[in-house]
Chain A
């Protein structure tokens, strides 16, 4: 495999299936390693915040989840577009595998934000620009998942999903800035989320460790889901039958 490896080597579903299978356990290991380290630093080493007490510690999950939610949408749109433009099946399958994980991180960011908002602002939810655009991002994810799931023909589903993901990706900045403008006009929420003045270095370390854990988790889950999608879609091919036979034998 090392000799003839080219850019598109892993565009073949069978090769990607094998590669993802080999890497997934390592990503799980990395997830648990980074998460344990991050939680240790975050909960035991990092000091109590002067103004927010212990409630601030939710930042160690909240901020990485919010980062991942935005990043994964862009990654999803990228792979969907590649799949559409080059008729690359594997890229489209990867895009579909990313969507639920992205939506999960969006929900996690919103949920942990609500849990953080209650003690620090006294409200589960405020119509702050960032919260609102995160909510709209969740709607974009749900729209993509719903559209792709509603179309039975996988080719059409991939292409329609790619188009929607691209339109959504172009719209994300427009939505973000219009929501921000709307928020400043309404003068409703006086709480700003840019309050964090300076962060202790242990807090930053914990956050970065948790971010790495989230990255590794995303890789592990997306690869696992992609493998399931590959086997489902390629079920009529010879290599999947061999795989099934081998699994039965073992």
Chain B
């Protein structure tokens, strides 16, 4: 089981390293989408500081939804997904490894870039810290839920939009607590409660989502 997990994880990381531009596209989308907001809303620092947490989180959510769409598509097209599911090890291993790989390739860059875009919105030091901590706890949740959506919509005509429609309602709690943590720090309160709830969400999703994804993969490839 561990061997399969590591093999799938390393394979996906290697594939991402061979196509570096593809792997960076979600990050570029994240930054570009965020920088649209000051243009639309106006440059007043007070307003920008107020909307920054929500904007960063919504863009992280959308960037994840866009990048997760091809999580299983390539493997399905060349038949390797079927082979992976035929392996004697449980399909949960494959689902978990794919999600970890997705998070390492697409989640990390967002977390690293978040303080930089936060500075564009004039966020204070403590607020930036809470933004990063929230994203650290929250982006794995987004990757796991996105993986489930990708497995459910595998090979469908309107897969992209459908995935977003399916996953966004499920991801709303992460958005609420992630953006809420930054807002709490901004207004001088402790964000500990938000971190705890995000952590609880992460644990629950970690336990449930890979199992559901494995079931979805079996349904989709039957």
B219 touches A159 (CB 8 A): yes
Q: Does A107 reach chain B (CB closer than 8 Å)?
A: no
Q: Taking the complex as formed, is B32 at the interface, i.e. its CB lies under 8 A from any CB of chain A?
A: no
Contact assessment for A178 and B172 in the assembled complex, using a CB-CB cutoff below 8 Å: yes
Q: Are B162 and A146 in contact (CB under 8 A)?
A: yes
Question: In residues 9-50 of chain B, which contact A (Cβ within 8 Å)?
Answer: none
Q: State the CA gap A151–B216 with chains docked (Å).
A: 13
| CB of A130 to closest CB in B, whole Å | 15
User: Interface 1/0s, chain B 207-220, versus A by CB < 8 A?
Assistant: 01000100110011
> Is there contact, CB below 8 Å, between A171 and B177?
no
Q: In the bound complex, what is the Cα–Cα distance between A179 and B172 (angstroms)?
A: 9
Q: CB distance B222 to A156 under 8 Å?
A: yes
Residues of B within 8 Å of A143, CB to CB, are: 162, 165-166, 169
- A160 and B201 CA atoms in complex are apart in Å by 23
Determine whether A181 belongs to the interface, using a CB cutoff of 8 Å to chain B.
yes
Residues of B within 8 A of A178 (CB): 172-173, 176-177, 197
Q: How far in angstroms is the closest Cβ of chain A from B211?
A: 10
Complex interface residues of chain B between 69 and 121 (CB less than 8 A to chain A): none
Please name all residues of chain B whose beta carbon is closer than 8 Å to the beta carbon of A156 when the two chains form the complex: 219-220, 222
- The answer to whether B157 and A160 touch across the interface, beta carbons within 8 angstroms, is no
- In whole Å, how far is A153's beta carbon from the nearest beta carbon of chain B? 9
Size of interface on A: residues with Cβ below 8 Å to B: 26
Residues of B close to A181: CB separation below 8 A: 176, 197
The range of chain B's interface size is 20 to 34
Of the candidates B152, B159, B184, which one forms a contact with A185 in the assembled complex, judged by CB atoms under 8 Å apart? Answer: B184
Mark B167-184 against chain A: 1 for CB-CB distance below 8 A, else 0: 011101100110010011
Report the Cα distance A179→B173, complex, angstroms: 7
Residues of B within 8 A of A136 (CB): 169, 172
Q: Mark A168-198, 1 if CB is under 8 A from B, else 0.
A: 1011001100110110010000000000000
A140 and B153 contact, CB distance less than 8 A: no
Q: Are B173 and A139 in contact (CB under 8 A)?
A: no
User: Is A29's CB within 8 Å of the partner chain B?
Assistant: no
Whether the pair A139, B165 counts as a contact (CB closer than 8 A) is yes
B173, B197, B212 — most chain A CB neighbours (10 Å): B173
Give Cα A171–Cα B168 distance, bound, in whole angstroms.
Answer: 12
Give the distance in Å from the alpha carbon of A140 to the alpha carbon of B197 in the complex. Answer: 22
Q: Is the CB of A163 within 8 A of B172?
A: no
Q: What residues of A have a CB within 8 angstroms of the CB of B168 in the complex?
A: 139
Give chain A residues whose Cβ lies under 8 Å from the Cβ of B222.
155-156
Task: Tell me the residues in window 133-182 of chain B with beta carbons closer than 8 Å to chain A beta carbons.
Answer: 148, 152-153, 156-159, 162, 165-166, 168-170, 172-173, 176-177, 180
A window 123-157: CB within 8 A of B:
136, 139-140, 142-143, 146-147, 150-151, 155-156
Q: A159-B219, A167-B212, A185-B184 are in contact. Are A150 and B173 (CB under 8 A)?
A: no
Distance (Å) between the CB of A129 and the closest chain B CB? 11
Distance (whole angstroms) from the CB of B220 to the closest CB of chain A: 7
Q: Report if A91 contacts B (CB, 8 A).
A: no
Determine if A220 is an interface residue (Cβ-Cβ < 8 Å). no
Question: Which residue from A146, A168, A182 sits with its C-beta under 8 Å from B170?
Answer: A168
CA distance A13 to B157 in the complex (A): 30
Chain B: minimal CB distance from A121 (Å): 23
Q: In the complex, A212 Cα to B184 Cα: how many Å?
A: 45
Interface residues of B (CB under 8 A from A): 148, 152-153, 156-159, 162, 165-166, 168-170, 172-173, 176-177, 180, 183-184, 197, 201, 204, 208, 212, 215-216, 219-220, 222
* Additional A-B contact list (15), CB under 8 Å, known A150-B157, A160-B152: A139-B165, A140-B169, A146-B165, A147-B153, A150-B153, A150-B159, A156-B220, A159-B219, A163-B152, A167-B208, A170-B208, A174-B204, A178-B173, A178-B197, A185-B184
Show 18 residue pairs from A and B whose CB-CB distance is below 8 angstroms, ordered by the A residue. Answer: A136-B169, A136-B172, A142-B165, A147-B166, A150-B153, A150-B157, A150-B158, A155-B222, A156-B222, A159-B219, A163-B216, A168-B169, A168-B170, A171-B169, A174-B201, A175-B169, A175-B172, A178-B197
